[in-house]
Structure 1
């Protein structure tokens, strides 16, 4: 690689292998030459709109090959891409765009039709080659240095608003060119993560900078059956699965990874049983535990695991990647002896420039490195870790009030700030709890300001302010919030949420199949009772629980109902209709028989 920029190296790859497939989606293929030329045309269009060095350009599109075209075009114009997720509430998107002073928003026809956040001076629809014909296919020739910003990805913020992590070309290149990607295991990568989240850095740049192929799933929710089909049809060799998704897939169908050479997993506690199931079912597979953060360009450590695998404790997250240095420090920034517990600080390759437009937060988390050269920084991760004598890093928990939900970082303070905006709430608190299935969920606690408090609108209120992964699964009224002796909130003393039920008066099941479905809903939601009209998601259901439920229903009823259909009809009554005419309820099978 000779170019200092991400897009420059992709252009070099296009010159070397112009006819190689860069993007695949269903029956659609885009070669490296076609990708490069289409991005060039859009880059010229962006240049006309004033995009230049480090101009943040927002992207709000459904999953498609056009997303990759849009991102490349932004970089070719000299700008940095600022991805937005279509599941974000409009208010959250508008706040992000306003803070970053975004002049241009790239959308597709579908997202534009649903309504887009206001704020950008120009909204451009990207739809294949439509509208790009007047622009030249030649490179716009905008000089871009390694130290320029490549992207700004927003994560949950402890101040109550999201914070944008600003990453340069140099750091993203450092990740994509790490030696762990050598050997061809990531030649064909399945892009499961939303492009607005940090895992997309791997899914985009590792295959493109190695001459590989990105396989783009169809629009819609991801479920076990779809993952199996895509891996087979697209001949996937490398894939990233969050720890929670990895566990669900291995519980339901460990053979779905057939043909995959390497699975990356992390973002939360990795289940040893899932690792064993994957390796036992797929000869030659490598499962690689990964650890990192958006602030250190996604991944900083790794640990490859192969068969035979028998875990005798928690899965470690491994050793440092190329150019990364790990420091386990006490409160006075002294190094902790091997085997001791301290907060992990990371220096070397991968450190982001900081938080976009927030020098205060940047100074708080990116601190001077007393073990490096003058001016060198290190990132305070907030993670409590242990570095063993064997050099393996083990993550033990958090030193602050951040939790991981479905693989995404959530600052509890941001969820609490949204909850406190609801009329009639005097005090609010949010805690992360682990369900019986092993998934982490958020529970909201509130103290009402007076009599007559109406809690029915709480869920709708939160849905307008936070994305789905930050939505509490339960809302618990308390007389007061517990405090520590020094007057701070004592999260450990918050009451555990008890079994709940659907809304009072919810209709009872009308036949045996509906009774079975109600029981499956209640089991997945960990609630006492579910009526046939109760929405799975209104009762706190999350995506992983929905995936587990649909996998169970597909097996039990021998049906091809998809999770996308379930998202459109998330009630027992709706699901019963999708299953067709009711016959006798299936006999419950044992766990071994289901497998």
Structure 2
């Protein structure tokens, strides 16, 4: 019978391959065999047990990436406890909050981290303390049930405080034994993600539970030349790259990934252009687009991409892993038809226990599964998606990222899809920004492949793809898109746009254009409005649109429908429309600015 706890599964592997290298530390050259890793973890586990650590206690870990990190995680599980990763990039007050909120029994650390910061209210233990190395190397043989919590990883919370997701031993082992994995392609996996990021579950336990090797990347963020050297020197076969980092490498140095057998990527929207660049540079590699959530035990679905794959403008979520169900439901929990956008709910195996110490939030996000057996639950992801004509699921965006423009709900990801494939555009993201008057507008942040982008041409292209209210009000050109310490797109680091910037200005030429320009200016607080300036791009929203139509009726004497403003949003276009429908309108130029 297959062992369903990490320590039990690891013990089976130690018995099979005791002398095989389990962990390699790239920076120092330190190697640990399975037997050596077992002994070191046993010593630390005995020490933790001696401190009173036991069943499902949380043990915090704050360390640099190293072989000792793997020892620490394994030892905590052998003691019957759950590990609580604390990100070294977090500010001190956030680290303290995580430790306090989880009620950590102990903090495990190393010399580098202990020298920089020590929390209050919790015992601090160095993994290489002499008291640890003096312990017994025999397996403590603590009984571990598959439904025990293996780790607690924190994710961002809508309240501003992190949420601690409790994932069980069973769910980790189930993930790593899923038949979709071609284990030989993950024989040597690079541990490069921050260990407080849930994908470290794959990086660490996938090779260790299958007789493979974990290669520890040096501390800090890796530059492409360093990554290339690691892949070549250590024969890395499998790696996970966040969608943001994958896109950067694809654009700047896709040859960096030569030699890999499989690349996992996900955690954000995956650019098809990035996939194609990597497959062109590395035709023998397999790319797995992964979809999941920390609350769904890392991965729930995957989509296989090879050099023969035909890529469209969207990379689908793909097929679910064994035992997992993905439902796309409306706000009444009813399945939506194909092509209709709904919210993704994860069900079946892999659904986490919930949020540690947050029963109300757990009840809100982990709901009863009306499609499963009695007592089963679904996790409400907040991700919006639809099934395409081929039955595959396409990610659309986040429920909480939608913005209302002129009364219409707009998903920025749909605008991004329209940008995909535009010549000369390397990277892009569309965000909603709030203006001084409280209404939101779309901003397109774009990175050119080489030379300056023609933003006017880009805007004209988007106008052929989308209605005017979905065209970003401003495009901001950047040298690169900022990334978070976890390698995801850092939306908070995007620069504030200048909504009042006028790229080109053509003054009014006719009396009616003068009048309309003045109305645009006064309603939108814009100091200078040219006849080519777009009402919506200048910040026009639903309230100002209705006011504009009323002012036109009062001052010009004609009635304009709201649809006409969508079709003719510039001063010149609207003036031409009015005169085409109502004939010449006699107004004195003095009425304009």
Please give the TM-score of this superposition, normalised by the length of structure 2.
0.70
Residue 524 (structure 1) shift: 2.1
Contact 2:242 2:487 in 1 (8 A): no
Q: 1:493 aligns with which of 435, 441, 452?
A: 441
Q: Which residues of 2 match residues 64-213 of structure 1 at below 5 A?
A: 64-120=66-122, 122-127=123-128, 130-213=130-213
Give the superposition deviation at 1:220: 2.1
In structure 1, the gaps of 5 or more residues are 404-430, 446-477, 483-491, 500-521, 527-535, 547-595
Kept in 1: contact 2:325–2:347 (CA 8 A): yes
- Structure 1 position 256 matched with structure 2 position 256: yes
The answer as to whether partners of 1:91 and 1:117 remain within 8 angstroms in 2 is no
Alignment of 1:12-411 (within 5 A): 12-26=12-26, 27-120=29-122, 122-127=123-128, 130-401=130-401
> Residues of 1 paired with 2:485 and 2:55: CA distance?
43
Q: Does the 8 Å contact 1:525/1:541 carry over to 2?
A: no
Q: What is the SS of the residue equivalent to 2:180?
A: helix
Deviation at 1:279, TM superposition (A): 1.2
SS of 1:386's equivalent in the other structure is: strand
Q: Match for residue 479 of structure 2?
A: 524
Query: Alpha-carbon deviation of 1:3?
Result: 2.5
Residue pair 2:197, 2:486 contacting (<8 A) in 1 also: no
> Which residue number corresponds to residue 503 of structure 2?
none
Shift of 1:444: 8.3
What is the rounded CA distance, in whole Å, between the counterparts of 1:440 and 1:134 in structure 2? Answer: 54
1:416 counterpart residue number: none
Structure of higher RCO (CA pairs closer than 8 Å, 6+ residues apart): 1
User: 1:495 deviation in Å?
Assistant: 7.5
CA contact (8 A) 2:262 2:288 kept: yes
CA spacing shift, 1:439–1:313, aligned 2, 3 Å: closer
Q: CA deviation at 1:440?
A: 5.0
Distance 1:3 1:544, change over 3 A: closer
Answer yes or no: is the 8 Å Cα contact 1:40–1:136 preserved in 2.
yes
- Aligned equivalents of 1:60, 1:361: Cα separation in 2: 27
183 and 493 in structure 1: CA distance in 2 versus 1, 3 angstrom threshold: closer
Separation in 2 of the partners of 1:238 and 1:82?
Answer: 25
Q: Offset of 1:479 from its aligned partner?
A: 4.3
Aligned counterparts of 2:180 and 2:273: Cα–Cα separation in 1: 24
Aligned residue number for residue 577 of structure 1: none
CA distance in 2, matches of 1:214, 1:322: 25
**Aligned residue number for residue 458 of structure 1:** none
Asked whether the equivalents of residues 41 and 138 of structure 1 are also in contact (C-alpha less than 8 Å), the reply is yes
Separation of aligned partners in 1, 2:318 and 2:5: 29
1:261 Cα deviation after fit:
0.7
1:438: which partner in 2? Answer: 427
**Uncovered stretches (5+) of structure 2, i.e. residues with no partner:** 404-411, 420-424, 448-476, 491-593
8 Å CA contact retained: 1:149, 1:167: yes
**Does the 8 Å contact 1:176/1:205 carry over to 2?**
yes
- Cα 1:133/1:268, change in 2 over 3 Å: closer
Aligned residue number for residue 481 of structure 1: 438
Q: Distance in 1 between matches of 2:349 and 2:107?
A: 31
- Asked if 2 retains the 8 angstrom alpha-carbon contact of 1:279 and 1:308, the reply is no
Superposed CA deviations along residues 68-119 of structure 1, whole A, max 9, x for unmatched, are 1000000101100000011101101111111111120001000000012222
Instruction: Work out the CA distance in 2 between the residues paired with 1:179 and 1:495.
Output: 42
Map of 1:509-548 to 2, 5 A cutoff?
A: 524=479
2:445–2:478: 8 Å Cα contact kept in structure 1?
no
Deviation track 1:491-541 (CA, whole Å, cap 9, x = no partner) reads x33788999xxxxxxxxxxxxxxxxxxxxxx95269xxxxxxxxx99xx99
- Inter-partner Cα distance in structure 2 for 1:17 and 1:288: 28
Write the distance in 2 (CA, Å) between the matches of 1:49 and 1:312: 56
C-alpha distance in 1, partners of 2:384/2:488? 26
The answer to whether the Cα contact below 8 Å between 1:4 and 1:146 also exists between their aligned partners in 2 is yes
C-alpha distance in 2, partners of 1:541/1:297?
21
